[in-house]
Structure 1
């Protein structure tokens, strides 16, 4: 085998699927007997859905996903009982007023599918492509790297305890990809993670509650954030969202009947030892928070799983080991707070960035060290930014919404309740001021609930070697204040950005420009015949013509979204990232283009 993958969660499984599509032999070791039993991540960004689409997984995911109407908004309520009060409801995740904005960004939609339903889809596909290479009940207990010698040969030895047979074996491969959530590989190789750790103790419960749907106030709301002033605010009170299983054939489609009977309730714990917060405590918290009348719900709650977890915002010092043969992806490289759904999605993008580079290096027969170094160079800055963004999102709940409502954990329950009541009392002198404060807090929460810049606009500055983005602040993705624009996506063909999405048609077949990326080659997009000399077959570059003789630009978006003229061209990597663009029409031969690609790849001619 060429690669060992450690960890069989969604990131590890996607790594396996991607390597299989590249024809790279590999083995995956996962310590548990099957897929996750706790829902964990649920939100799949448009970029992630594009990756799944490229791996022929989009249809299977959408078949299991929540109906689109069910995650158009998020809301804050006091509770769900007969006397509940709505605090605020807003559009989110590309729903409502943001729908057209998100539709212009990608051929894919923001999608909700709990991890417990996503992982079986990925596992089935991984096994289909690699029937004997996905091994469960296999716990990796040691990793030893043997760096390259003078001939460029090196390897990694992995010690695995097979718990089903109680055997311990060693395996060796030229490369290891660690998707083990940082449990073993990073520490074994001396790679430390830094940032803010142990921020908050959380507990979450996956429950089945068939009677809950009729108390849910709005089927278009995914997450309800509860605010009980006596508990000191929203995260401490708890939040609730639906988990399916989803039924898009229900008779009353759009009224919530498709949302299923399973839910996630999560809250911060108030005990110094969160593991003392047991199932009975969680049941009490749920019933106290929801305030649904006795007999209407409590007796129907069935606990399917519970999880105690710590909020961290930490990033590994290195994503590639000192010896160069081990790579960290997903939670092994970064542990990110879930506010903004940036954790799993960032891990998927790690895989998308790494696997084509590693496959090319293996197939080349000579380690492309400089190319493989770009994995860390490109992905680690993204991880640092999303860790910061997610932590900001978390704090916007307590320092934003709670504070706007006059709630402070250092105040008494009576004081917090008195402040909170002002929000609903139109006669109070401070009522209008508090309403304005809540609206301002919601503006800050755009970074969590309306963040196409963070979800789709991230880019790799190191690819822009000629600083083409400097003059335009990367076509606006960097604001005048020098900060990344989290809330707006700015399409760009500055090297390092994703090729912009727009629809093209050929022979009645409609595709996104993003669909035309190739796993095994670079793609040169052209509109003019001045590049005709490049149309010959190449091992490195595929040429896609966006003109009458090729794919027709359906809405004439080329100039608007690429910033290029008809006689100019853009070169896109296998991961959809712009690698180079030309503003000198027809100045390039096929050999010249291949030299550019080899230079980008650091391949010696």
Structure 2
């Protein structure tokens, strides 16, 4: 643009990695014009993240890319185990193997918590999927070879200076800016500090093409950890995981190998040194390896001191690595970033389009991006760092290995572990390794950490069930998140629990019994452009939705009836007899397994109000005519959930 007064767009995104691209797609789905600027010519060329938990895959479903992810992800037969080996060579031995990420013994547990499956897909294959979708929705708004060199925040807009590949600079303006530049400097330039530990371990990784499946003892192990007593502990020796493309073939298969630099390594760890370390670790004779790319990086465990540039007025929001730098042990970094913008964009949507109810507008709601997401980032940071250190403090210690030992002492300790006749130290080490797997559950079997997080501050009407039950059991007796097990609940602040629903349809494929049905999850009922009220008796809530002169929140609330078993037809008829307004027509779905009452904790007349990001905003266990029958009651609940003035307290439940 050459005009001295640049056009102002509602939103600008700095960074075109997965978090930036996901932001763009969400904004497009909300029909918000925006620009995205990425300094590189295209998507990432070096593998980084690879594992996506249920919450993230549910967001992929919303983005419209779940099908593409499923088509390219690792087959389920190859993503549910992990193991430790000394090497893959002729003398290599397996130390221990275990189930992980919903594989093996965890399959049923992982299958019941979501309509989506834990998926493994290297970031180099995910990003093109996101890019394609972002361009489909916003073909004129995605810019590569566009480096943001300056971001200046004014009272009513953000000025963004962008340098193109030819050196020319253009200034853009945006009402809001999402900083998703991977932590490459924007956070620091805004004067926002970091908390946590920096430069913990010096790491290198290599993206290679090699026929390793021909030598791999068990390719069901997605990640293989190597513990060679001559090369150091598990982090120092390295780890390996496959990258596809799937199905894997010897002539095309790709892998990532990573390890920490040891004191004896050369200061310049070039491609030659990288290849030597890989071959030393694998110990496969005459292995032909094509080195595609290498990366030198430090493990950091950091979280920005705030996620909004200024509380109450800031127009720049940090997301992904610009907000938190997470050790990769536990695969929570990119997941947390995608979930950050899922929380943010619906709030920006209301701030940009919503009616201003008071002088602050939606600024209080925008502040909740920080108060809700930053505690999650801090916990994930600390959990992932604990997972990293557990490899050395738990596994290596169990094997009797230590960096303070001599090589001979480490070799002797490992030999005793494999000596089945050694009923002394060897037997103790074998028991210690088995015990270590329970501790490592925090990385490999951690549904509580992956999907059990919640927002404790969301409690509009003083619902005390969370405090009374340690938030449905998701907090342990010390008040810390229970990371292993997931406890679904409709306590305000929780993610709406998943269960399968069905109803008859007028067109589409027939089932085996000849009936036409549609099957969806409760999570599929969530609307990113509004709230959903779930209840088994929707006819009771008509007055609560209505107001004199019309409902100020318009079509923001959609009512869904959930019937359990035989009561389905009664509820369906009742809803048809009392037809609501066109803006609030009722969908009725049948809970065939009858799980909704126990899973929701509600009486048939009770209700749950769910935010656009699938988080429970409010609930009442049962309908009270005196409280809930007043016209406009739910309008007040919605306004209070959006932290807007002018909404009276709905009343204690």
Among 453, 470, 474, the residue aligned to 1:473: 470
In the alignment, what sits opposite 2:63? 55
Deviations 1:71-129 (A, max 9, x none): 11000001011222110000000110001101111111110110000000000100110
Deviations 1:39-68 (A, max 9, x none): 100001110000011121100111111101
In the alignment, what sits opposite 1:451? 446
- CA displacement at 1:187 relative to structure 2: 1.3
2:329 matches 1:291 = no
The separation in 2 between residues aligned to 1:400 and 1:230, in whole angstroms, is: 19
Q: How does 1:110-189 map to 2 (within 5 A)?
A: 110-147=118-155, 154-163=156-165, 165-189=166-190
Q: How does 1:230-241 map to 2 (within 5 A)?
A: 230-241=230-241
The separation in 2 between residues aligned to 1:34 and 1:464, in whole angstroms, is: 43
**Contact map agreement 2:36 2:141 (CA 8 A) in 1:** yes
In the alignment, what sits opposite 2:352? 362
**Which region of structure 1 is more displaced relative to structure 2, 447-456 or 461-470?**
461-470
Deviations 1:388-417 (A, max 9, x none): 000000001000000100000111111111
Among 285, 307, 327, the residue aligned to 1:337: 327
**Contact map agreement 2:235 2:391 (CA 8 A) in 1:** yes
**Contact map agreement 1:244 1:258 (CA 8 A) in 2:** no
In the alignment, what sits opposite 1:253? none
Q: How does 1:10-49 map to 2 (within 5 A)?
A: 10-49=18-57
2:425 matches 1:430 = yes
Over 3 Å counting, the alpha-carbon distance change for 1:274 and 1:307 in structure 2 is farther
Deviations 1:508-536 (A, max 9, x none): 10000001000111000001255252688
Q: Which runs of 5+ in 2 are unaligned?
A: 1-8, 505-516, 573-587, 647-653
**Which region of structure 1 is more displaced relative to structure 2, 428-437 or 134-143?**
428-437
**Which region of structure 1 is more displaced relative to structure 2, 466-475 or 27-36?**
466-475
Higher alpha-carbon Rg: 2
**Contact map agreement 1:202 1:274 (CA 8 A) in 2:** no
The separation in 1 between residues aligned to 2:48 and 2:541, in whole angstroms, is: 50
The separation in 1 between residues aligned to 2:139 and 2:266, in whole angstroms, is: 40
The separation in 1 between residues aligned to 2:200 and 2:266, in whole angstroms, is: 13
In the alignment, what sits opposite 1:306? 294
- CA displacement at 1:156 relative to structure 2: 0.7
Among 642, 646, 650, the residue aligned to 1:601: 642
Over 3 Å counting, the alpha-carbon distance change for 1:529 and 1:442 in structure 2 is same
In the alignment, what sits opposite 1:510? 519
Number of paired residues? 585
Q: What is the aligned-residue RMSD (CA, Å)?
A: 1.7
The separation in 2 between residues aligned to 1:259 and 1:42, in whole angstroms, is: 22
**Contact map agreement 2:177 2:315 (CA 8 A) in 1:** yes
2:480 matches 1:483 = yes
Secondary structure of the residue aligned to 2:637 is helix
2:390 matches 1:396 = yes
Over 3 Å counting, the alpha-carbon distance change for 1:132 and 1:200 in structure 2 is same
- CA displacement at 1:184 relative to structure 2: 2.7
The separation in 2 between residues aligned to 1:259 and 1:509, in whole angstroms, is: 43
The separation in 2 between residues aligned to 1:265 and 1:494, in whole angstroms, is: 43
- CA displacement at 1:258 relative to structure 2: 9.4
2:599 matches 1:592 = no
2:508 matches 1:499 = no
Deviations 1:126-166 (A, max 9, x none): 0110011000111111111112xxxxxx1111111112x21
- CA displacement at 1:604 relative to structure 2: 4.6
The separation in 2 between residues aligned to 1:301 and 1:529, in whole angstroms, is: 63
The separation in 2 between residues aligned to 1:603 and 1:384, in whole angstroms, is: 28
2:362 matches 1:374 = no
Secondary structure of the residue aligned to 1:593 is helix
Secondary structure of the residue aligned to 1:470 is helix
2:303 matches 1:315 = yes
Among 239, 261, 267, the residue aligned to 1:269: 261
Q: Which runs of 5+ in 1 are unaligned?
A: 148-153, 248-255
The separation in 2 between residues aligned to 1:580 and 1:339, in whole angstroms, is: 35
2:403 matches 1:417 = no
The separation in 2 between residues aligned to 1:430 and 1:402, in whole angstroms, is: 14
In the alignment, what sits opposite 2:650? none
Moved segments of 4+, more than 6 Å: 272-275
In the alignment, what sits opposite 2:618? 580
Secondary structure of the residue aligned to 2:605 is coil
- CA displacement at 1:561 relative to structure 2: 1.4
Give TM-score, length-normalised by structure 1.
Answer: 0.94
Give TM-score, length-normalised by structure 2.
Answer: 0.87
In the alignment, what sits opposite 2:3? none
Secondary structure of the residue aligned to 2:277 is helix
- CA displacement at 1:560 relative to structure 2: 2.1
The separation in 1 between residues aligned to 2:605 and 2:557, in whole angstroms, is: 19
**Contact map agreement 2:531 2:557 (CA 8 A) in 1:** yes
2:557 matches 1:541 = yes
**Contact map agreement 2:489 2:496 (CA 8 A) in 1:** yes
Deviations 1:267-299 (A, max 9, x none): 001259987111111111111111111x2x1xx
**Contact map agreement 1:245 1:259 (CA 8 A) in 2:** no
In the alignment, what sits opposite 1:464? 459
**Contact map agreement 1:77 1:86 (CA 8 A) in 2:** yes
The separation in 1 between residues aligned to 2:233 and 2:350, in whole angstroms, is: 51
**Contact map agreement 1:329 1:347 (CA 8 A) in 2:** yes
Secondary structure of the residue aligned to 1:546 is strand
- CA displacement at 1:603 relative to structure 2: 3.3
